[in-house]
């Protein structure tokens, strides 16, 4: 038998073999947290303390879940397929599929990814004549998700002003609409499961007794609802006890506060579960010394930390290389040159990662890689299941599974065009509103020509469903691509070749899916409703009391088609890169979480970009950016490069950014400046005055002059391109404006006095 424990250090070993009690493993990046968690699962099973069915493991992405299963099967002779290892969303989906009736959901409920959710909200606003400037759809979406993440339904949200009251009203309308259509968004998956288990005692107790061990990776990024969900699952506060919660995390890597993550959950967990077993892992196995020293010293600047450090036996290794480029183009060029020499030295392309803070930065680097003929892969751009053509095909499949999904209906009712215009759809909408039914169900109520074209569309969907009744999923997908007219449509489109390829790719995706999930290649895609109903009934009887077994592997609770559709939505919601191709890997820092590479470039290290300008407006914003920088640094094993540019074209504007304050927080002896080191702007106690008269490093007056002609107006009263006079520097021209209110600053070209950055709330400027 595989010796699971021989490769662990003493702290890791202690963590893996802890007794069945609540435990918190608090450890820095690359210290083996994920490895410890996986090994503990294997050890618990191998030593007979728990059966695979008694484990509930929560990972941060679907891919991480798969990886964990693969590692487990390598360690143990077990089939991991039916195990409850997944993301919060994936696990909740599975629970809701099993108990759809108790959760008051239709059997074929469908999952909205965030793009779908936004379109539902837009539709809702439009249908109710609500001004979308006053209530921007994204703001409404944020409001709703935020409330759900806190476990609050509309009737529990407190509103303090008319705008908020309206938001609450919209939240309620949105929930009603989703319920009518049989769709749930990501936050709803969790909230619905939470409510189901809170309400239904037999069900709750069943799962509490079943899951003897609950293990959570990346615990620092759980939000309030997720934490409460875990508490519920672990039977916290119940006399009959529950599972042991084993949480691993790193407070220094908490980077999802903007999505409601609450790093305070770590200390709450320690307190509420009276955690006796707190283990810190401080040995890092990933990075060389200079890289680790940089990470340690940087993060020491944060104030709210639980406290830990990282050390390595790997030796100092190479220094961290830093490069100041004159422009974003020059920065990209430098990355290319360095990558080329890495590759020439034998580095694999997939071991080179280029990280950036914002997606918008990738274009220039992509272009440079492309021109240099270096294969690359960009993540976090559009994912496969979010591409328009793929979404269209998915919408047809959704309609076959659940025709009451109005979003899917509207997406394809006239795509490819079949003469169903806006008027027809409005008439249909009116009928649906009148009877309180879905668009699909309302078709028979529309008269005339509109009615007959809509009727034809319904016939198309029904026909496809009938035709594919006994077909396995991949074949069904193929038929739908044809019958929908999508393939023909893109064949006639000029740039359609790629789209057709993507559509055909879906047949392969379906083939891979059924085999990975264990449906069997020949299993009919629409599983008979009888067998599904039986699966649902076998768990809780009509009184909700007798519980036989809840081993709900996907094939027993979902048809292949439903399962495939859930998979598409859940994967579209994943926020992490899937590495593998022999290409340079490009991604945002957020999506690099948990990954590691031999060579890493961190680009665009400039004030306003990284730390991001939004961080100055929020409390704790800079600390969150610093954690993000810590995540970025700790992705590197052997070589780390950092760069910044004096000028950068972003969102159609040339910006003159200062180099990031983070450079001043790194250990000088670990750095190697490839360009002359520039003077610091960020000495801790002279920050205010530094802003007042900072000469812009290497400012390029020619570019500044060009910008002058581009008079852009801002809300602050000053305009780019405007001429001003300053008591000390004389006449100048505003070349850039940033921030607002007391944070507003201007970059001004004062000719012979050079470029200055002035704080507009302090500097005395006169208009000329």
Binding site for Mg ion (CB under 5 A): 33-34, 594
Place of tokens 């450090």: 309
Residues 6+ positions from 162 with CB-CB distance below 8 Å = none
Sign of the CA dihedral with 378 first, then 381, 382, and 385 last: positive
- For ligand ATP, the closer of residues 65 and 410 by Cβ is 65
Q: Which stretch in 24-32, 269-277, 416-424, 455-463 sits in contact with ligand ATP by CB under 6 A?
A: 24-32
Q: Which stretch in 1-9, 140-148, 376-384, 567-575 sits in contact with ligand ATP by CB under 6 A?
A: 1-9
Name residues contacting ligand ATP, limited to 582-641 (CB under 6 A): 594, 596
In angstroms, the CA 156 to CA 519 distance is: 42
29 binds, among ligand ATP, Mg ion, none (CB under 5 to 8 A by kind): ligand ATP
Q: Which stretch in 8-16, 105-113, 673-681, 703-711 sits in contact with ligand ATP by CB under 6 A?
A: 8-16
Cis peptide preceding 416, ω within 30 of 0:
yes
Residue 32 as a binder of ligand ATP (CB under 6 A): the answer is yes
φ/ψ (deg, to 5) at 356: -140, 160
Contact at 8 Å (CB) between 436 and 180?
yes
Rounded least distance, CB 34 to Mg ion, Å: 3
In angstroms, the CA 368 to CA 325 distance is: 15
242 binds, among Mg ion, ligand ATP, none (CB under 5 to 8 A by kind): none
Sign of the CA dihedral with 493 first, then 498, 503, and 504 last: positive
Q: Which of 14, 35, 198, 496 binds ligand ATP (CB under 6 A)?
A: 35
Residue 135 as a binder of ligand ATP (CB under 6 A): the answer is no
Residue 30 as a binder of ligand ATP (CB under 6 A): the answer is yes
Please report how many Cα atoms fall inside a 13 Å half-sphere around the Cα of residue 679, on the Cβ side.
Answer: 7
217 flagged as catalytic: yes
- For ligand ATP, the closer of residues 33 and 99 by Cβ is 33
Rounded least distance, CB 594 to Mg ion, Å: 5
The 3 state secondary structure assigned to 325-340 is EEEHHHHHHHHHHHHH
236 binds, among Mg ion, ligand ATP, none (CB under 5 to 8 A by kind): none
SS3 216: strand
Residue 29 as a binder of ligand ATP (CB under 6 A): the answer is yes
756 flagged as catalytic: no
Farthest-apart Cα atoms in the chain, separation: 85
- Count interface residues toward ligand ATP (CB under 6 A): 18
185, 188, 218, 665: which one is catalytic? 218
In angstroms, the CA 180 to CA 195 distance is: 19
In angstroms, the CA 221 to CA 265 distance is: 9
Q: Which stretch in 5-13, 81-89, 184-192, 230-238 sits in contact with ligand ATP by CB under 6 A?
A: 5-13
The distance in angstroms from the start CA to the end CA of the chain is 83
Q: Which stretch in 27-35, 438-446, 619-627, 664-672 sits in contact with ligand ATP by CB under 6 A?
A: 27-35
- For ligand ATP, the closer of residues 143 and 630 by Cβ is 630
12, 34, 312, 588: which one is catalytic? 34
In angstroms, the CA 13 to CA 30 distance is: 16
Q: Which stretch in 30-38, 178-186, 360-368, 403-411 sits in contact with ligand ATP by CB under 6 A?
A: 30-38
- For ligand ATP, the closer of residues 60 and 227 by Cβ is 60
Place of tokens 């159609």: 652
In 3D space, the residue among 567, 560, 557 whose CA is nearest the CA of residue 107 turns out to be 557
Residue 17 as a binder of ligand ATP (CB under 6 A): the answer is no
SS3 602: strand
218 flagged as catalytic: yes
Residue 350 as a binder of ligand ATP (CB under 6 A): the answer is no
- For Mg ion, the closer of residues 34 and 654 by Cβ is 34
- For ligand ATP, the closer of residues 285 and 673 by Cβ is 285
Sign of the CA dihedral with 416 first, then 421, 424, and 428 last: positive
Q: Helix 264-272 vs helix 224-233: angle between axes, to the nearest 10 degrees?
A: 20
Count of H helices and E strands in the chain?
28, 22
Parallel, antiparallel, or unpaired for β 277-281 and 23-27? parallel
31 binds, among Mg ion, ligand ATP, none (CB under 5 to 8 A by kind): ligand ATP
- For ligand ATP, the closer of residues 536 and 594 by Cβ is 594
Binding to ligand ATP by CB under 6 A, coded x per residue (else -) over 272-291, reads -------------xx-----
635 flagged as catalytic: yes
Residue 234 as a binder of ligand ATP (CB under 6 A): the answer is no
250 binds, among Mg ion, ligand ATP, none (CB under 5 to 8 A by kind): ligand ATP
217, 324, 401, 475: which one is catalytic? 217
Residues 6+ positions from 18 with CB-CB distance below 8 Å = 40, 246, 277, 279
Residue 569 as a binder of ligand ATP (CB under 6 A): the answer is no
Q: Compute CA distances 643 → 65, 605, 675, 724, whole Å.
A: 34, 6, 10, 33
Residues that bind ligand ATP (CB under 6 A): 7-9, 12, 27, 29-35, 250, 253, 285-286, 594, 596
Which residues are the active-site residues? 33-34, 217-218, 253, 635
């Amino acid at each position: 038998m595989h010796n699971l424990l021989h490769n662990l250090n003493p702290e890791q070993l202690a963590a893996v073999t802890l007794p069945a009690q609540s435990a918190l493993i608090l450890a820095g990046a690359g210290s083996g947290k994920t490895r410890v968690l996986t090994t503990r699962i294997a050890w618990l099973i191998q030593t007979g303390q728990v059966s695979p069915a008694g484990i509930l493991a929560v990972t941060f992405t679907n891919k991480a879940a798969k990886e964990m299963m693969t590692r487990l099967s390598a360690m143990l002779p077990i089939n991991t397929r039916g195990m409850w290892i997944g993301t919060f969303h994936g696990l909740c989906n599975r629970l809701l599929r099993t108990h759809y009736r108790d959760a008051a959901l239709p059997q074929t409920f469908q999952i909205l990814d965030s793009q779908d959710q936004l379109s539902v909200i837009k539709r809702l606003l439009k249908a109710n004549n609500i001004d979308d400037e006053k209530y921007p759809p994204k703001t409404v979406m944020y409001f709703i998700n935020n409330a759900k993440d806190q476990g609050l339904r509309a009737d529990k949200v407190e509103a303090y002003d008319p705008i908020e009251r309206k938001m609450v009203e919209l939240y309620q309308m949105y929930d009603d609409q989703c319920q009518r259509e049989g769709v749930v968004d990501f936050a709803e998956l969790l909230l619905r499961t939470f409510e189901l288990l809170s309400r239904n005692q037999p069900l709750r107790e069943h799962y509490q007794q079943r899951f003897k061990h609950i293990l959570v990776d990346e615990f620092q990024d759980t939000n309030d609802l997720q934490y409460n969900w875990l508490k519920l699952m672990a039977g916290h506060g119940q006399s009959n006890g529950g599972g042991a919660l084993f949480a691993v995390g790193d407070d220094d890597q908490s980077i999802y506060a903007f999505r409601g993550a609450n790093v305070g959950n770590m200390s709450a967990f320690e307190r509420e579960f009276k955690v006796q077993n707190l283990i810190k892992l401080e040995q890092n196995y990933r990075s060389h010394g200079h890289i680790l020293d940089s990470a340690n010293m940087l993060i020491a600047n944060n104030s709210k930390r639980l406290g830990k450090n990282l050390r390595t036996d790997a030796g100092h290794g190479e220094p961290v290389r830093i490069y100041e480029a004159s422009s974003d183009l020059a920065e990209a060029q430098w990355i290319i040159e360095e990558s080329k020499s890495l590759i020439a030295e034998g580095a694999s392309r997939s071991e080179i990662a280029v990280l950036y803070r914002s997606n918008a930065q990738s274009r220039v680097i992509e272009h440079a890689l492309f021109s240099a003929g270096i294969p690359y892969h960009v993540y976090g751009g559009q994912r496969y299941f979010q591409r328009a053509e793929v979404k269209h095909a998915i919408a047809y499949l959704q309609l076959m599974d659940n025709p009451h999904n109005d979003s899917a209906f509207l997406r394809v009712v006239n795509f490819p065009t079949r003469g169903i215009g806006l008027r027809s759809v409005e008439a249909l909408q009116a009928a649906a509103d009148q009877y309180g039914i879905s668009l699909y169900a309302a078709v028979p109520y529309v008269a005339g020509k509109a009615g007959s074209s809509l009727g034809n569309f319904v016939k198309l969907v029904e026909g496809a469903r009938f035709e594919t009744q006994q077909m396995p999923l991949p074949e069904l997908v193929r038929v739908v691509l044809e019958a929908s007219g999508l393939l023909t449509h893109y064949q006639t489109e000029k740039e359609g070749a790629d789209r057709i390829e993507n559509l055909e790719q879906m047949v392969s995706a379906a083939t891979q899916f059924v085999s990975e999930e264990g449906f069997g290649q020949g299993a009919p895609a629409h599983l008979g409703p009888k067998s599904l109903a039986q699966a649902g009934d076998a768990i809780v009887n009509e009184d909700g009391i007798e519980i036989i077994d809840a081993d709900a592997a996907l094939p027993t609770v979902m048809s292949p088609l439903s399962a495939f559709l859930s998979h598409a939505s859940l994967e579209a919601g994943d926020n992490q890169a899937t590495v593998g191709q022999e290409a340079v890997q490009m991604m945002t820092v957020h999506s690099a979480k948990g990954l590691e590479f031999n060579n890493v470039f961190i680009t665009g290290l400039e004030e306003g970009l990284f730390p991001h300008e939004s961080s100055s407006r929020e409390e704790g914003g800079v600390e969150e950016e610093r954690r993000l920088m810590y995540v970025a640094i700790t992705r590197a094993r052997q070589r780390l490069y950092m760069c910044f540019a004096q000028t950068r074209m972003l969102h159609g504007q040339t910006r003159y950014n200062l180099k990031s304050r983070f450079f001043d927080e790194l250990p000088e002896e670990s750095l190697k400046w490839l360009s002359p080191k520039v003077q610091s702007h960020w000495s801790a106690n002279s920050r205010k005055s530094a802003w007042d008269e900072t000469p812009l490093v290497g400012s390029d007056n020619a570019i500044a002059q060009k910008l002058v002609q581009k008079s852009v107006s801002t809300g602050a009263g000053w305009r780019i391109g405007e001429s001003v006079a300053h008591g000390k520097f004389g006449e100048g021209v505003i070349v850039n404006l940033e921030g607002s209110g007391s944070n507003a600053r201007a970059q001004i070209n004062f000719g012979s006095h050079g470029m200055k950055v002035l704080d507009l709330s302090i500097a005395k400027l006169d208009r000329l």
